Structure formats: structure tokens, C-alpha cells
Structure 1
Amino acid sequence: MPTEDSLATGQRSLGDPALDYPLWPPLTAGCPRTSTEDVSYPVEVDYAYDKADPAGLFAPAPVRGGLERWAPLLPPLLAPGLGEGATPLVEVSPGVYVKDESRNPTWSHKDRLNRCTTSAAVGAGAPGLAVASSGNHGASAAAYAARAGLRCVVFTGPDTPPNVDAFLNAYGAVVLPVPWEARWPLLRQVVDRLGLHPVSNLTTTHTGHAYGPEGYKTVAYEIFQDVGLPSAVFVPTGYGELLFGVWKGFVELHRLGLTAGVPRIHSCETAASGPLAQAIADGLPATHVTVGPSDAYSITSPVSGYRGVLAVRSSGGRALTLDDGQLADAQRELARAGLWTELSAAAGLAGLRSLGEPDLSDGPVVCVSTSSGFKDKGVGTRRTEPVAPDWDAVERRLRAAGITG
């Protein structure tokens, strides 16, 4: 199997780091030796770190997208890219930065993951991808499958917003809206019967794809290049793959001798579910919870995975839960700073604000914003009320908005 410039050497169990496996095939159902009927332990990709060139990898470079920049510390990038990554870091208040992942090709952080998972599908010789998604992940998988000349099947929910449904279909994916609880069994059947490569979870508790979170490490690399070592990073959290990837990226930077430590990594979940917070509170590697109502559908999850527990505990972070009101407040604050985000994407800033005034004595803080406001429920259904084309009507509307002469 060609590896291009990758220094990846194999896969290692997070349930027992002494257990390792070959790099191929990707273990999409977690570690077969440590997982049980109740808990599925993920695997991670390991590298020949002693062969890496930190000075060369992290030297200043022109700002351009594409994970190729970080190829030695990623799984083999066998699928073509779309210019993902190199997203801006925006200072929204003194010492508080937002990593705006809506600037990726399909307007979400998922592009970093799908560059790696689609490469895995190409390496495994699969005819296409299969994914279960509420929106961001499915659209990204469809785009990268199309770019690689592969088919893509997306199981989504019956209440997917029309704008997101159009986005999924735009790339030629086969979009199948089904009841939420039916997505996972049907996904497994597509994988087993048709040989499509799964880029969504297949297990009881969340493992996800072995290669996917490796793409998220590059968020940490870019933050480091922009502001050095932050004191804390606040991450919107559903299954915890982004959370883990950001943490692992900073762990690697420390391992390579580029930083003095690792920032605190805080998970930011919706209070409507919060399985990671529950798992940590109960001292469990992962757990299941009952899901309540929330408009933050992209991060509403009934199940957690061990990756998130590992990232929060190892970094000294906190597992935060936010209600929709806190998320909406953060979304409005981001809008005032010129950033249009999905409600779920505002969870990072909402998590920071929930702790009060930030302590910047140890360095800046970074809030990751995961996706565009285009993905929100209700987008495309609301219309601004027309105004009569005369000055009196215009003046009344301006006065109501607080704009006066």
C-alpha cells in the first residue's frame, strides 16, 4: 500500500495502548480485542515521530488550503483534496479567538475528517462511502466522494432542514431520509452487503473511523502557528472526534518539542443530551443518555465515546453543557463580530462564556466554531417584511432598529 509522504506506521488501541495493528485495513469498528458488548474502544493512528522534521513542518508557509502541508503526520492522503484547512483565527475580544471552520470547502470542520476517510476508502479499494449524518458530515462526505470519483450513500433524518437536504443532494449523493433510530442498522447493512466504506460509527458506543480524527489534528497545528500555545480550547462536541483530534494535535506538538505543554481542552455539549459530561461524571469510558429537545441538532447525541473522555481528562479540561439560550447568546455575539454560525457551532464560545470572565494569564483562549449558519433550522423559511418605498416608512423601520439621525 503506498504511503506517499506519510510517517504513519499502524493503528493502536486506545483501550490498551500496548495493542497495535497494521495500518491497513482501517479499523472502522474500533479495537477488536478490548471492546465489549457495552463499550467500544477506538483506535488511533501511530507514527514514526522520530523521523518527523518539526522545524520544516511548522516553518512559516504561504496561507493556502490543503492537508498536504501536514502529510507526514497524517494517514496516507490518497484521495484528492478540496483546499481544506488554513481557516482563519479571528480575535472577537482581547485574548479570545475563534477558529472559524465554516471557511472550509463545504463550510464545516468535517472536511478535514473526510479528506482522511475518503483516502482510506481509496486505499481500501472501496466503491464508495456510506454515512449517517444530520447534515455537515454527510455533505462533506458527499463532496469528497465526488472529488475522488466514488459513490456516496447518506442516511439522514426525516426532519432534515430543506437547505441541508439540497446541500446533500448537490454532490450527487444518494440521500435516504429515514427515522433516526433506523440509520445505524441500515448503514451496517449497506456496508456489509455492498462493500461501501463506512465513515460513520458502527458500534454500540462511539468509535467512528480510525483515520478521521487525524484530520482534526491540523486544527491544533494551525492554532499553534497563529498564536502559539493557548491556555485553553473550547470545542463544540457531539461524538467527541473533533475534541480528540484537537487534543492529539497539541499532544504531538509537545512530543515534538515545539510547546511546553498541552492546553486544557473543554468539551461543549448541548444540555439536551451531554453524554460525554455524563460519562465523565459517572467515571465511565462512554455512556448512553436520553435526548431532549434542542435546535442544536448537529451536536445532539445519545451516545458518547472514549476519545472524548481521554481528551478532557488528560488535558485537565472540563465537560460543559449548554442550553439553547446560552448557545443563542453566543451565536448573536459571533454575529456581532461578523461570523455567521450554526447554533451548534456557537457551543465553543458559549462554553467559554459560561465560565465567566476568561483567565488570560496563561495565554489566549480559542473557541472552535464548526460550521456555517446556513445549516441552521429555519434558514430559507424566514423572510424580512417588505417596507413601503417611501421615506416615512423607511424612517419608521430605521427608528425601530435604533438608527436615528
Structure 2
Amino acid sequence: MEEGDSSSSKLLALSTPLLKLTSLRKLLNLDGAAVYLKYEGYNPTGTHKDRAALAHVGEAVLNGYDTVTVGTCGNYGVAVAYYARLAGLRAVIFVPKGYSNSRVPEMKRYGARVVEVEGPYEDAVAVSVSSARANGWYDANPGSVNDHVSIEAYSLIAREIVRQLGDAPAVVAVPVGNGTTLVGIYHGFYRLYRAGETTRIPRMVAASTSNANQLVYSWSRGSTEPLPVEVSEVRETPVNEPLVAIRSLNAEEALRAIYASKGAAFGFSDSEMVEMSILLRAFEGVSALPASASALLAVREYLKANEVDGPVVAVITGRWRREKR
């Protein structure tokens, strides 16, 4: 899609490749498993957030809205701004003032109005939700009245993986902040299994930062319900911003999915995520955001303690296409 192209024909379903891990398997001691990367970097703005943004903008158009709003740390705001522009809608994006927000210029380039909010990500979402209610805007926020649209959009990742592999994999690892993507993918696999289109539901593995994510915090303490995270435990950085969540907005559903599928949740340091993103680029020619590289770290951790009887998939986000080697 070319920037500035406002043709409605561009509002099409998205599809991303499944790349088999090759050179890195031996280095990561993964020789015993077939590991794949579901590479969301092929989406127009480079992340899995395109899927939810496209779906929400489509709903906004169908229901006669002229403005769509969201609170964001960066990636989701860019995706909403991008698709709103294609559809001829106005986008109002709320961002936490204290975050690095390296993608704010892109949001503005796509014509979005960007509003800085004092406080953390959760406050930006809260202001966006209240603004949507007060102004009659379409609310594209996770955990909001239209949350089901995001979950349905992410469920299509499961259908694509099944089409690409011929069946559901044994394990799927997903980077999590709010947990919305993991919930959507799980529901996709669940429906396919109930319809007899797969032989199993994968074990869902959440990957995140070790510096305060409610899903990882709750699972590591054996809780099936979201536990409160102390603000004092938060260590936000440009690397972990997409993953930090004092309150994961889809925490309850995500924890249910992890426990129901006999999965797990892991948190990693910035240095671990950065190192894995460098390895992916050097050995596989895949550009991965460090936060999303946590999914492959989670695969490694999960396979250390668990035997699997089929393929393993890590959902990876980037901002560029796979490099030619």
C-alpha cells in the first residue's frame, strides 16, 4: 500500500508468511522441534496491530463514524492512523507523555491528531475511552465496548497458521501486553478445533517483559485471576514499553486461555529481548522488534521443560520485510 492512497479497495484482509527457523535452531538448542515464525512484519505498518486497526476502521465506516480513537504506546496508533486515512476517517490518538513514542511522527504523517496524556499507558486509554463517549467517536481501545472486534481480527492469525501448516501447531508463543492478541489467536484455534478442522488446540504461551506485566506476574504466582501489580515494580524503557502493563486489559481472558490450553507465561529482560532480535536479524534475515522477540525466547524456555509432538510457532512483529540473503 502506498502512503496517501485513499482507495477503499486497499481495505482488504491481511495475510502474513510462516517462516521456518533454520540457522538459529542449533544455536538455541531447538534441534528437536520444528519452529516457525509467524512474521507480522509483512503487514503495511509492520506489526500485528494492523489486523485490529483494519477491523476497527472497517466497523467505524460501516456504522457511520467519522472519527476513530485509541490510546497507544506507538504501534497500534500508527496502524489506526494508517487505516483511518485510507478510509477517509479522522484519527485521534492519545499517547503517554513520558513514553519515548518513536512512532508519533508516523501517526502525524498519516494525518492523525496526537494528544499527549500525563501518566502511563493505562491513563492514555482511559482518556481515549472517555473522549470517545463524550464526542461520539468510534472506540478502538482494548478492553472497550468494541473489544470483540480486535479479538475476532486476531483470531484470523490462527486460521492462517492452520492453512499454512495443514493443522494446528503444538505450541504458539505470543508477545503480550494486554493479552488481546493471545486471546484472539486462542479463540481462533478453539473454533477451528470445535468445527473439526484441526486435531488439537495449541498450548498458548505468553511472552512479555520481566519488568511488570500483569499476565506474567499473575501466572508466575499460580493465580488463575489477575493479581494487582505494584506501580513501584514498573521499569519502563524504550524496549519494553509495548509489553509493560500494570493492568492488562484482557488479563482474565488471557489467563483462561493459558490455563485451558496447558500453556505458560514468561517474562524477559531488555537485554535478552534485544539480543534475540539481533540474532534473528543476523541468522534468519528477519527484522524483529525486541519486544516481539520475547516470543522466541518463550519458545526456548517452554521447550526446556516440555516435550512437544508437533510444530511450534512464535508470533513475531517487525517493521520491515524479510531481508534478502
Q: Deviations over 1:145-173 (max 9, x none)?
A: 11221111001122454641111112100
Question: Which residue of 1 is the match for residue 116 of structure 2?
Answer: 177
Is 1:298 aligned with 2:245?
no
2:272 maps to amino acid: Q
- Aligned pairs, how many? 293
Change (3 A) 1:105 1:255: same
Identity of aligned residues (%): 27
Which of 16, 21, 40 lines up with 1:92 in the alignment? 21
Is 1:212 aligned with 2:212?
no
Q: Which protein has the larger Cα radius of gyration, Structure 1 or Structure 2?
A: 1
Question: Which residue of 1 is the match for residue 318 of structure 2?
Answer: 371
Q: Deviations over 1:16-37 (max 9, x none)?
A: xxxxxxxxxxxxxxxxxxxxxx
Question: Which structure has more helix as a fraction of its residues?
Answer: 2
Question: Which residue of 2 is the match for residue 342 of structure 1?
Answer: 289
Distance 2:93 2:48 in 1: 18
Conservation of the 8 A alpha-carbon contact between 1:84 and 1:105 = no
Which of 55, 63, 68 lines up with 1:116 in the alignment? 55
Change (3 A) 1:316 1:185: closer
Question: Which residue of 2 is the match for residue 321 of structure 1?
Answer: 267
Change (3 A) 1:347 1:158: same
Question: Which residue of 2 is the match for residue 283 of structure 1?
Answer: 223
Distance 1:184 1:104 in 2: 24
Deviation at 1:357, TM superposition (A): 4.9
Question: Which residue of 2 is the match for residue 199 of structure 1?
Answer: 140
Q: Give the gaps of 5 or more residues in structure 2.
A: 1-7, 26-33
Conservation of the 8 A alpha-carbon contact between 2:224 and 2:259 = no
Equivalent residue of 2:263, what SS? Answer: coil
Distance 1:347 1:177 in 2: 28
Is 1:271 aligned with 2:218?
no
RMSD: 2.3
Change (3 A) 1:260 1:159: same
Distance 1:119 1:367 in 2: 28
Question: Which residue of 2 is the match for residue 71 of structure 1?
Answer: none
Distance 1:214 1:196 in 2: 21
1:210 maps to amino acid: H
Q: Deviations over 1:108-134 (max 9, x none)?
A: 101111222122222332221110001
1:321 maps to amino acid: G
Distance 1:129 1:269 in 2: 28
Deviation at 1:185, TM superposition (A): 4.0
Deviation at 1:358, TM superposition (A): 8.3
Conservation of the 8 A alpha-carbon contact between 1:80 and 1:148 = no
Conservation of the 8 A alpha-carbon contact between 2:142 and 2:178 = no
Conservation of the 8 A alpha-carbon contact between 1:88 and 1:99 = yes
Is 1:362 aligned with 2:306?
no
Conservation of the 8 A alpha-carbon contact between 1:81 and 1:144 = no
Larger RCO, structures 1/2 (Cα 8 Å, 6+ apart): 2
Distance 2:180 2:109 in 1: 26
1:18-97 maps to which residues of 2 (within 5 A)? 81-93=10-22, 95-97=34-36
Distance 2:267 2:241 in 1: 14
1:135-284 maps to which residues of 2 (within 5 A)? 135-161=74-100, 163-181=102-120, 182-201=123-142, 209-227=147-165, 228-280=167-219, 281=221, 283-284=223-224
Conservation of the 8 A alpha-carbon contact between 2:129 and 2:141 = no
2:56 maps to amino acid: T
Deviation at 1:231, TM superposition (A): 0.8
Distance 1:317 1:238 in 2: 17
Q: Give the gaps of 5 or more residues in structure 1.
A: 1-78, 375-405
Distance 1:185 1:330 in 2: 33
Equivalent residue of 1:321, what SS? Answer: strand
Deviation at 1:285, TM superposition (A): 3.1
Equivalent residue of 1:298, what SS? Answer: coil
Question: Which residue of 2 is the match for residue 132 of structure 1?
Answer: 71
